Structure 1
Amino acid sequence: MAVTINDIAKAAGVSRTTVSRVLNDSGYVKKETREKILKSIQQLNYTPSAIARSLSTNKTNTIGVIIPEINNSFFGEIIKGISQVADEHNLNLILFNTDDSKAKELKALKLLKEQRIQGIMITLTYPEDGVNSEYLNTLKNLDIPVVLIDGHVECSNFSGVFIDHSKGAYDGTIALIKEGHKKIAIITGSINSRPAKNRLNGYKKALAANNIPINEEYIFYGDYKHENAYEITKKILDMKDRPTAIFAMSNMMVLGCMKALYEENIVVPDDMAIIGFDKIEALNIIGMNISFINGPTIEMGRTGMKLLIDNLKNKKETRELKRITLLPELVLKGSEKYIGKNKV
């Protein structure tokens, strides 16, 4: 039979209210009485119920995390950073994966509200109707701290941690240009998302800075998924004036590109150069040296969690809005080279 607060009170010879004060660290309790209660708790091997505690305090020691792609290592590393800081502050995490679905995101928000969580960290999907969308209104009405982890927000009153996507794409395109590439294809992410727009702008700025005309035929609009990138790469390989390099705007799209190149016996970088956005650990393991733009993902998670904890310490009216932008890093591994048969 489970041990209850009443059992602790009886063993310690105190009231149930006094035991509750000790368990919730609320209200004054004499030192000797507190020690007697703690000893009884230890002897009876009592474990307090998180559910019961949430009912009495109207909150839990839990943070909600909502991401769009749990199978993407980009978000896996962000969660790792979040978890590291959460552990340091004895906070628990509830994780939701939305598969880029606004309906699933809205459902997750409503479920988290029912769980009496302390705060939310979220990578938003791409709201076509802007800040008036139902789930953004739901987010605002939760009345708890919210921290954005990258993603798409045209305007909001939420703190967040972001990557400088424009700089990352600019640096990656410049790396290809320095190798001698002028025919550079880009496969964007979902173009209604801010990261995709900023990455495309970075690509265009790099071309303009080097007096290379922007060829709209080399701009392909993807969706961050490998399936779409696979089909687009097939089209690129069939072009009469074929590009000498492909810049894929996500790690998952790089996988789609590589699959298509492999099927057509295209060797990287001899026949086609390629560079991606975000690293793919699996490619490193099997020795495929693909150059990429590395977002500081673990640091994003840690920084975002620290922002949330800062907000938890302050009342709503005194919470400070903070937007932190982290710089990505260009990692060149040879796939950006302009050599051999790709000089068409």
Structure 2
Amino acid sequence: MPVTINDIAKKAGVSLATVSRVLNDSGYVKQETREKILSVIKELNYTPSAIARSLSTSKTNTIGVIVPEISNPFFGEVIKGISDVADENGLNIILFDSNESMEKEIKALKVLKEQRIQGILIASTSVEDKFNSEYIVTIETMGIPIVLVDGHVTHANFSGVFVDNIKGAYEGTEALIKAGHKKIGVITGRMNSIPAQDRLLGYKKALTINNIPINDKYILTGNYKLETAYKKMKELIRMEDRPTAVFACSNMMTIGCIKALQEEKLKIPEDMAILGFDKNDVLDMLGMNISNVVGPTIELGRASMEMLIEYLNHKHSKELRRITLLPELVLKGSERYIPKK
């Protein structure tokens, strides 16, 4: 049986409150009594649990992290950055996967509040076309610091760290244009999310600046999922006047596009060029050399955690802050334009 503070109190002949004051170094305890209690603690080899400490101090050494899709390598790297900084600062993390469900996100927030955590990092699924009063009330009454991780909470303002998605999509699309493409398709993310809207804006901006008409039939709405991108790519392939290149707006959608091209026996870039958004280690390991716009994922996690720690240390406590990180264009040849003979 594990040793409890009740055991310590009985053996030392003192009250539970006195043992609690010694364990938490709070309140006055006579030196003689303190030494006796510490001697009993050593004798019984007692180690106070984090939960027990939190009940007396109303605070744990834990940070809550909520992401929409833990299986996505993008969030895996973000979590690594968060975890690295947490370890450096002696903090623990509790991780929740909302599966892009606002209801699950609300549930996670409520659980974290009950756990008396210090703060929250959240890649929110809150979207601007869906007002949820329960969500807004829940997140605004947490009473602890909250930092957004490349996500947005509609109808509420929080500090956060973001990726410049407009710039990334602009540079990716412009790379295809510079390679010689004029008919460029795009498969977007969920269009009720700000990052997806920004990536589409970047795509359109590149076309407009380079005097290429925007063809609405080349703009297909996806949802960041592999399966959806696979279906959308099939639609592009079967168009009578199909595009010569496609910009896929996420790493998983890039894989879906490639799957569709391979099934149709189409070569990259000979039959269709492709450029994706976000790093794709799986494709790199397979030697596929797919060009992409690489978001600073680990840095995104690190910067978010560092910002939260600053709030926990009462720095910038009343200041709304936004940090924007720049993505990097990495060309590997899949963007090339190869004219038909």
| Structure 1 residue aligned with 2:329 | 330
| Structure 1 residue aligned with 2:158 | 158
Which AA in structure 2 matches 1:323?
R
Alignment of 1:182-331 (within 5 A): 182-314=182-314, 318-331=317-330
Alignment of 1:109-148 (within 5 A): 109-129=109-129, 133-148=133-148
Q: Is the 8 A contact 2:127 2:154 kept in 1?
A: no
| Structure 2 residue aligned with 1:108 | 108
Q: Cα–Cα, structure 1 residues 238 and 147, in superposed 2: closer, same or farther, change >3 Å? A: same
Which deviates further from its counterpart, 28-37 or 116-125? 28-37
Q: Is the 8 A contact 1:131 1:156 kept in 2?
A: no
What is the distance in 2 between the residues matched to 1:35 and 1:330?
63
What is the distance in 1 between the residues matched to 2:134 and 2:270?
49
- Between Structure 1 and Structure 2, how many residues are aligned? 341
Note the alpha carbon deviations across 1:209-267, whole angstroms, 9 max, x for none: 11111111111111111111101101111111111100000011011101100100111
**TM-score, length of structure 2 as denominator length:** 0.92
Which AA in structure 1 matches 2:246?
I
Which AA in structure 2 matches 1:197?
Q
Q: What residue ranges of structure 1 are gaps of 5+ in the alignment?
A: none
What is the distance in 1 between the residues matched to 2:31 and 2:330?
58
Which AA in structure 2 matches 1:141?
T
Which AA in structure 2 matches 1:199?
R
Note the alpha carbon deviations across 1:118-174, whole angstroms, 9 max, x for none: 111111114345565421221001111111111233453311110000000001011
Q: Is the 8 A contact 1:311 1:320 kept in 2?
A: no
Q: Is the 8 A contact 2:128 2:193 kept in 1?
A: no
Q: Cα–Cα, structure 1 residues 129 and 271, in superposed 2: closer, same or farther, change >3 Å? A: closer
What is the distance in 2 between the residues matched to 1:274 and 1:262?
13
Which AA in structure 2 matches 1:212?
I
The share of aligned pairs that are identical, in percent, is 67
Deviation at 1:110, TM superposition (A): 1.4
Q: Is the 8 A contact 1:131 1:137 kept in 2?
A: no
Q: Is the 8 A contact 2:222 2:228 kept in 1?
A: yes
Q: Cα–Cα, structure 1 residues 36 and 131, in superposed 2: closer, same or farther, change >3 Å? A: farther
Deviation at 1:17, TM superposition (A): 4.3
Which AA in structure 2 matches 1:228?
T
| Structure 2 residue aligned with 1:175 | 175
Deviation at 1:38, TM superposition (A): 5.4
| Structure 2 residue aligned with 1:99 | 99
Q: Is the 8 A contact 2:129 2:192 kept in 1?
A: no
Q: Is the 8 A contact 2:128 2:154 kept in 1?
A: no
Which AA in structure 1 matches 2:292?
F
Deviation at 1:4, TM superposition (A): 2.2
What is the distance in 2 between the residues matched to 1:41 and 1:333?
62
| Structure 1 residue aligned with 2:44 | 44
Q: What residue ranges of structure 2 are gaps of 5+ in the alignment?
A: none
What is the distance in 1 between the residues matched to 2:309 and 2:31?
30
What's the RMSD between the two structures over aligned residues?
A: 2.4
Which AA in structure 2 matches 1:180?
G
Which deviates further from its counterpart, 229-238 or 89-98? 89-98
Q: Is the 8 A contact 1:127 1:133 kept in 2?
A: no
What is the distance in 2 between the residues matched to 1:134 and 1:16?
40
What is the distance in 2 between the residues matched to 1:31 and 1:279?
59
Q: Cα–Cα, structure 1 residues 230 and 33, in superposed 2: closer, same or farther, change >3 Å? A: same
What is the distance in 1 between the residues matched to 2:80 and 2:33?
41
SS at 1:74 equivalent = helix
SS at 1:289 equivalent = coil
Q: Cα–Cα, structure 1 residues 81 and 33, in superposed 2: closer, same or farther, change >3 Å? A: farther
Note the alpha carbon deviations across 1:277-299, whole angstroms, 9 max, x for none: 11111111111111111111111
